[in-house]
Amino acid sequence: MKIATLKINNINKRLENLLAWLAKTEPDVACLQELKAEQGAFPAQALRAAGYEAVWHGERSWNGVAILARGHAPVLVRSSLPGNPKDRQARYIEAAVNGILIASLYLPNGNPQPGPKFTYKLDWFERLTTYAAQLMAAGVPVVSAGDYNVVPTEQDIYETRSLDDNALIQLESRQAFARLPAQGWTDALRQLHPEGPLWTFWDYKREWWPKDKGMRLDHFLLSPAVAAELVGGGVDRWMRGVERTA
């Protein structure tokens, strides 16, 4: 099964890009983040015409997550991260596809830090860690994919001091992420590519893309049953260079 993740940054504005990416890469499952579309504005018909059924959790103007499956209807399991019923931000969705539990998540950015946004990020991370431990204990095959908004190590970002205060690279953020592999989850991309740069994000507001100044924010965490079947994976760098990606 080929599983991919993409932060689409407004699914309706960039629907043409999304459809082109699906047609070229043909993932069996695609996890999307940052839909920036309320629930009723999700382009389900256009995706169905392209061969994909979907479940989604939308939010007007912000956030939003979805799971697409080619030729199958994903079975929605949950549309929010447990642990805080007052949290209404659309950042987590989970569905069963062909016997595998797929999670698409969009972890809070946390900037500026310190402050309430960073506190929310760490609280969300704590809830994710607690729930991930429950999934691990259940022994079910799980793929948790998406934009974790954390650079796990210095290896995962270009050499710079300009982001020293950024929430993405704070020690607390990195420690929170590290607790997941410590539970037994496999960081799929690093497992496959243990050496060297492996960027998944280049800032739109600076000249990071032409200068290849990137970072790794998007991750696939696999439970042991899925990790045992891992055979390949990488980054679709070409997608960042497509017109109207930004």
* % of the chain with per-residue pLDDT over 90: 91
176-233 pLDDT, tens digit per residue, is 999 999 999 999 999 999 998 999 999 877 788 889 999 999 999 999 999 999 999 9
pTM of the model: 0.97
Strand pairing class (92-97; 75-78) = antiparallel
Strand order in the sheet with 65-70: 3-7, 29-33, 65-70, 52-57
Confidence bin at 240 (pLDDT 50/70/90): confident
Provide the CA 175 distance to its chain's centre, in angstroms: 18
Q: What is the token pair recorded at 83?
A: 């642990």
Choose between 84 and 207: higher pLDDT: 84
Token pair 């609280």: residue: 123
Token pair 């979805």: residue: 66
How would you write the chain as a 3-class SS string? CCEEEEECCCCCCCHHHHHHHHHHHCCCEEEEECCCCCHHHCCHHHHHHCCEEEEEECCCCCCCEEEEEECCCCEEEECCCCCCCCCCCCCEEEEEECCEEEEEEECCCCCCCCCHHHHHHHHHHHHHHHHHHHHHHHCCCEEEEEECCCCCCHHHECCCCCCCCCHHHCHHHHHHHHHHHHHCCEEHHHHHCCCCCCCCECCCCCCCCCCCCCECCEEEEECHHHHCCCCCCCCCHHHHHCCCCC
37-74 pLDDT, tens digit per residue, is 999 999 999 999 999 999 999 999 999 999 999 998 99
Q: Is the pLDDT of residue 87 over 80?
A: yes
Per-residue buried b or exposed e for 28-54, using 16+ beta carbons within 10 Å of the residue's own CB: bbbbbbbbbbeeeebbbeebeebebbb
Strand order in the sheet with 92-97: 75-78, 92-97, 100-106, 142-147, 218-222, 186-187
Q: Is the pLDDT of residue 246 over 60?
A: no
* C-alpha span between 68 and 47 (Å, rounded): 8
Mean pLDDT along residues 142-151: 98
What value, to the nearest 5°, has the Cα angle with vertex 132 and ends 156 and 234?
A: 35
CATH homologous superfamily, domain 107-232: Endonuclease/exonuclease/phosphatase (3.60.10.10)
